[in-house]
Amino acid sequence: MNDLEYKKQILDPKSASFCGAKWYNATIWLGSGMTTSCHHPLPHKIDLEAIKTNPSAIHNTVQKKQERKQMQCGDRPKGCEYCWKIEDINRDNISDRVYKSKIFSNESLDEAHKADPNTDVNLKTLEIAFDRTCNFACTYCNPAFSSTWANNIKRQGPYTDMKTDGRNHFTHSHESAEPYKKDETNPYVEAFYKWWETDLHKSLDELRITGGEPMMSPNLWRLLDWIETQGDKMNPDMTLAINSNLGAKQSIIDRLKTKLKKFDKFELYTSCEATFGQAEYIRDGLVYGDWHSNFLHMMVDKVPRAIHNMCTINALCLESLPQLLEKMVWFKSASKVYGPEVNFTLNILRFPSFQSPLVLPDDLRNKFKGDLVKFLTSNSKWLEGMEINQTQRLIDYLDVVKTPHSGAAEQSKLQQDFKAFYSQYDKRSGKNFEKTFPIIGEWYRGI
Ligand code: SF4
C-alpha cells in the first residue's frame, strides 16, 4: 500500500488529524524533565507530582492526553503544525504523521483511536537523553545539549555581537537543562527506570539513547548492566540504538562493546560530516583519526548490527563533505567483509541559521554543489536509494533554496554573525578558520 493509500484507508477513517506518534512514540529529556511526541512539537514540562505515583507520566502528560482527544475527534493539536502546514499545501500531501503512524500495527492504531484519551499508554518507540554530559562542543550544538559547551560559556563568558536567531544558543550556559547536579537524585531518571522495569522493557520495539554523549553518563551503564543481566526478559525484537560521537577513551568504548556483544539488535548512530582538520574544527573535541579507527573497529568486532553516520550539513563541512562521503563508500565496501551494515544520512542544518550552508555566496554554493554532483555520478552504484535521494536533495537545496527557514534573517546579517561567531570561536579555542578552510576562508576574510 503506498503512502497516500495508507493515509486514506488507515488514518482518514479514524480522523482527519489522527497520528499514532501521539500515543506510542516519545522523545524525553530526563536531565531537564521535558517531553514531546515525535520531535516536531516543542517539548513541554513533565509534572513532577504526577511521576511520584505514575512513572509513565514522563510520557502520558496531561497535555498529550488532551492532544490525543483532539486527534480522536479530528481537531488539530497546535504543536503539530509541522504536519498541518504540509497537508495544507495540498489535501493529498503526505506529512510525517503518515510515516510516524505506519511503523505501528493497524491493531495498535485502532486501539489508540478507541481508547479513553485519559488512559496511560505504554510506548513502542522512545528516544531518551539522560543528561547533557558531553566531551565535545560542536559548533552547531549549544550548552543545552553539551556540558563542555556550558563550561566554555561559564569560563569564557557569552559570545557577543551576534544578532540573528542563533545568538541565544551561545549567550548563557542553559542551566535549566541540568536542574539536578551529579550527586543529586533526578526524579525523571528514577521514573524512567521504574517504568522500564515494570513495562517498557516489554513494550518497546525501539529504544534510542542520545545525549550529550551517552557513554559519559552513568545512567547508560546502569541500563546496560540491566540489559546484560536481565536482557532475556526484554521484548526479543527490541532494537537498542545509541548515538555516540565515538570520541570516548578506548577503555570506555571497549566497555560498551563488552556489554553489548551478545545483544544482536544494537545499532550505533554516530556523526561526522567533514574530514581531518576540518572535521575537528567543526566538532571541537573530535580527533578525526580516532573516530575513523573506532568506526572501523566497531565493524571488525561486529558489535553493532548497523552503523549509521548522521552528517549535519552546515556551511563549513561542504569543503570536505565529498571526501567524507567517499570514506563512507569505503566503509560500505568494508562492511561486505566485516558484516555490520553502514549508511549515512544528510541532515540539513536550519538552526542556528548563520551556520546554514545558505549563508555562503552563490559562487561557493555552486562550486560545492558541483563537487557533490561529481561524487554522486561516480558513486551512486554503491549507494542505497535513501542515500542517493538525500545527496540529490542537498544538491537541489544548494541550487534553489534561499533562506534556512521562514523568518530567518537576511543573508548579509547571517554572514555578519558567521564572522562574529567564528572569530570569537578561534580566539577561545586556539583554532584558525582561514588556515583550516582554504576555500571558504578566502571569502570569510573579506566579510
Ligand atoms: S502529527 Fe506530525 S508533528 Fe504531530 S506527533 Fe504526529 S508526526 Fe509529529
Which residues, including other chains, have CB under 8 Å from residue 12's CB and lie 6 or more apart? none
Whether residue 216 sits in one domain with residue 150:
yes
For ligand 1, atom 3, name the residue with the nearest CA. Answer: 80
Best residue among 36, 66, 80 to mutate for probing ligand 1's pocket (most ligand atoms within 8 Å of CB) is 80
Cell numbers 477513517: residue: 13
pLDDT of 82 above 90: no
Which residues, including other chains, have CB under 8 Å from residue 121's CB and lie 6 or more apart? 23, 24, 56, 59, 60, 112, 115
* 40 Cα–ligand 1 center, Å: 7
Structural domain tally of the chain? 2
Reported as a single tens digit per residue, the pLDDT across 341-355 is: 999 999 888 889 999
* 132 Cα–ligand 1 center, Å: 25
Best residue among 11, 23, 36, 40 to mutate for probing ligand 1's pocket (most ligand atoms within 8 Å of CB) is 40
Reported as a single tens digit per residue, the pLDDT across 15-49 is: 999 999 999 999 999 999 999 999 889 899 999 99
**Cα within 13 Å of Cα(254), Cβ side:** 3
Residue range of the domain that includes 83: 3-121
Whether residue 373 sits in one domain with residue 354:
yes
Whether residue 68 sits in one domain with residue 156:
no
Whether residue 134 sits in one domain with residue 112:
no
Q: Hey, what's the cell of 266?
A: 544494537
* 64 Cα–ligand 1 center, Å: 12
Whether residue 202 sits in one domain with residue 92:
no
Rounded-to-integer distance, Cα 369 and Cα 319, Å = 10
The pLDDT-based confidence of 398 (bands split at 50, 70, 90) is very high
Reported as a single tens digit per residue, the pLDDT across 197-226 is: 999 999 999 999 998 999 999 999 999 999
**Closest atom of ligand 1 relative to the 81 alpha carbon:** 3
Whether residue 377 sits in one domain with residue 250:
yes
Whether residue 196 sits in one domain with residue 268:
yes
Reported as a single tens digit per residue, the pLDDT across 90-107 is: 777 888 899 999 999 999
Reported as a single tens digit per residue, the pLDDT across 30-39 is: 999 999 999 8
**What's the pTM?**
0.92
Instruction: Report the pLDDT value the prediction gives residue 421, as an integer from 0 to 100.
Output: 96
Instruction: Report the pLDDT value the prediction gives residue 90, as an integer from 0 to 100.
Output: 76
pLDDT of 77 above 70: yes
Which phi and psi angles does 241 have, rounded to 5°?
-115, 135
pLDDT of 167 above 80: no
Whether residue 167 sits in one domain with residue 65:
no
**Closest atom of ligand 1 relative to the 39 alpha carbon:** 8
Closest CA to 125 of 95, 145, 104: 104
Domain final residue, candidates 73, 96, 121? 121
Whether residue 148 sits in one domain with residue 108:
no
* Average pLDDT for 321-343: 95
Domain final residue, candidates 121, 137, 158? 121
What is the pLDDT of the chain when averaged over all its residues? 94
**Closest atom of ligand 1 relative to the 82 alpha carbon:** 3
Best residue among 18, 95, 103 to mutate for probing ligand 1's pocket (most ligand atoms within 8 Å of CB) is 95
Higher pLDDT, 85 or 277: 277
The answer to whether 109 touches 20, Cβ cutoff 8 Å, is: yes
For ligand 1, atom 6, name the residue with the nearest CA. Answer: 97
Beta-bridge partner residues of 278:
none
* 102 Cα–ligand 1 center, Å: 12
Whether residue 156 sits in one domain with residue 115:
no
Reported as a single tens digit per residue, the pLDDT across 275-299 is: 999 999 999 999 999 999 999 999 9
* 399 Cα–ligand 1 center, Å: 29
Domain final residue, candidates 121, 140, 174? 121
Domain of 299, CATH number, reads 3.80.30.10
pLDDT of 171 above 90: no
What residues are in contact with ligand 1 under a 6 Å CB criterion?
19, 21-22, 37-38, 40-41, 80, 82-83, 95-97, 100
Whether residue 407 sits in one domain with residue 312:
yes
In angstroms, what is the C-alpha Rg of the chain? 22
Instruction: Report the pLDDT value the prediction gives residue 406, as an integer from 0 to 100.
Output: 66
Alpha helix positions (H), 21-146: 21-24, 48-53, 62-73, 81-89, 96-102, 106-114
Whether residue 166 sits in one domain with residue 106:
no
* 202 Cα–ligand 1 center, Å: 24
**Closest atom of ligand 1 relative to the 97 alpha carbon:** 7
* 268 Cα–ligand 1 center, Å: 25
The answer to whether 315 touches 139, Cβ cutoff 8 Å, is: no
Instruction: Report the pLDDT value the prediction gives residue 1, as an integer from 0 to 100.
Output: 83
